[in-house]
Amino acid sequence: MATTSTLNANRTWVAKAGTVFHCLLFLFLLEGVLLPLNLAACLITHLLRKFIQPPQPSTSSDRTGKPVTVLIDGGRLSKGLFLARICKAAGHRVIYTSTSSTNLCGGRFSSAIDVHYTVPRSHENYDKCASEIRNIILKEKVDLYIPVSTATSAQTDAKLAEEVVTPAGAKSVSLTQKDTIRLDDKSTFSKWCESLDAPVPTTIPVNSPQEAFDHIKRLATQKSASPSQKYLLKSIQYDDAHRSEIFSASLALTNPTALQSRLSTLEITPSRTWIIQQFIRGNEYCTHVLALDGKVLDLSICPSSHWLLQYTPIQHSGITKWIEDFVSKANLSGHICFDFIEDTDTKLVYCIECNPRVSTAVGCFRSVGAQYGKRIELFLNRSQPGKTPSQSYSKVVTNAAPTLSKTSLLTPPARTPTQYWLYHELILLSRTRRVKAFASQLYAIVAGQDALYDVEDPWPFFAQNHLLIAQQLLLHIRIVRPWSEIDWNLGRLID
């Protein structure tokens, strides 16, 4: 026993030492090799902008002449920075928040930010977050609140918007709490879509491995069942480790023991419901939507990519129609992202899930940020349930702001370059061994555009890559937590 314990202790020590070495090695490459190059590029850009072409200030104001003040709870997320730049392009005064563990994020160092605050996330410490957000709204006289949620904070952010933001006198660019819950739950969302005649794959919720097995077996024995038909098993809750499992229903008949063994390793419980979803072979797409009172104001559609670290906006009439129909029937207001798949054979479009929050695809609007930012002003006259706009809010924006009835759909301009994260692309390039693949990857970098870098605002490109990621690496060293990849978009290490 003593020998076994000693062996296990040695293995643990070796694993911890390996984690620390992994972090230190990457820190050396990041800060010793790339930092000087990044710093020089940002410094040169900053000096050229300052002395050759000074920025021209612009403001968007209400009838009192005061600029519209927007509070963006954006933190480490790239999409928070994108929204800050969009709002600044429209002339808004921008207040930005991050947490104490991510306060070296790119957004904090952006010239688009007028004031920065450190607050906890709503899903980690709701009461403290609510108190501090309320204080910021009152102190800064905030007009609009825009939550930039993560996968785990969408529901508490919506709760905060209703319980704190509105009573404090501001409007929120967010979904209602009720709609957020319905959209966030994959099973509930699927049923909602079916009730509104919006095409979705067959979806079945399951609460235990045995229930999952029974449903799979039933699917395999249906008269209409095809031996080649496959299904996805997905967790309703966000799960980095187990995004989805794919299998043939016939496995329940041909090898039930193997299927039951695999299902038993998954945490499927009443408190962690999973879904069985029909697998459709085809191309996947992600979207970003801004809607108000059932009308889609802004829409970006991009082919899905690994890690969602490449965004190339396209036009797709089938997806556009699905979104406009559903948003109208559901009367949604706020930021939403829908994921779709287009059946290879039938070309029919199905929505496979919804994330009730801002999508990173909002970055594709960078060249029309002022137009997007103006549309956000429409939420100043957003009515509360059961009230007319005049009853619920008295602030009226200038004639320069659009009206909802006259607002047409805004999409990213044609030929908008692919948005990527340079350091992620460099890592992919370093792993490429074939000459043709290397050349293709290099061309993608040259033809595309780094999502963080902006000649008008260079320092977030430096801070996000060299301060925030270094901060996360040091945190992993302190708690000795292993990691496998870096998500440069989300500004975090993937365990």
pLDDT in tens, the chain (495 residues): 556 555 555 567 767 787 888 889 889 989 999 999 999 999 999 999 888 765 555 555 554 557 899 999 988 999 999 999 999 999 999 999 999 999 999 999 999 999 999 999 999 999 999 999 999 999 999 999 999 999 999 999 999 999 999 999 999 999 999 999 999 999 999 999 999 999 999 999 999 999 999 998 888 888 666 777 888 898 887 766 556 778 787 777 788 888 888 899 888 999 899 999 999 999 999 999 999 999 999 999 999 987 789 999 999 999 999 999 999 999 999 999 999 999 999 999 999 999 999 999 999 999 999 999 999 999 998 765 434 433 333 344 444 456 777 789 999 999 999 999 999 999 999 999 899 999 999 999 999 999 999 999 999 999 999 999 999 999 999 988 888 899 999 999 987
Query: 406: which 2 tokens?
Result: 């006259």
Model pLDDT, residue 149: 95
How far is the C-alpha of 426 from the C-alpha of 38, rounded, in Å? 13
**289 backbone dihedrals φ, ψ, rounded to 5°:** -130, 135
Whole-number CA gyration radius for the chain: 24
How far is the C-alpha of 268 from the C-alpha of 274, rounded, in Å? 6
What are the DSSP calls for 139-154, one per residue?
A: HHT-SEEEE---TTTH
How far is the C-alpha of 82 from the C-alpha of 405, rounded, in Å? 26
How far is the C-alpha of 133 from the C-alpha of 393, rounded, in Å? 20
Model pLDDT, residue 389: 39
How far is the C-alpha of 19 from the C-alpha of 198, rounded, in Å? 47
CA dihedral 80, 84, 89, 92 (to 10 degrees): 140
Structural domains of the chain ordered from first start: 202-278 (3.30.1490.20)
**Helix, strand, or coil (residue 349):** strand
How far is the C-alpha of 149 from the C-alpha of 75, rounded, in Å? 9
How far is the C-alpha of 300 from the C-alpha of 288, rounded, in Å? 5
Lookup result for tokens 């710093």: 39
DSSP state of 71: E
Handedness of CA 101, 156, 165, 173 (dihedral sign): positive
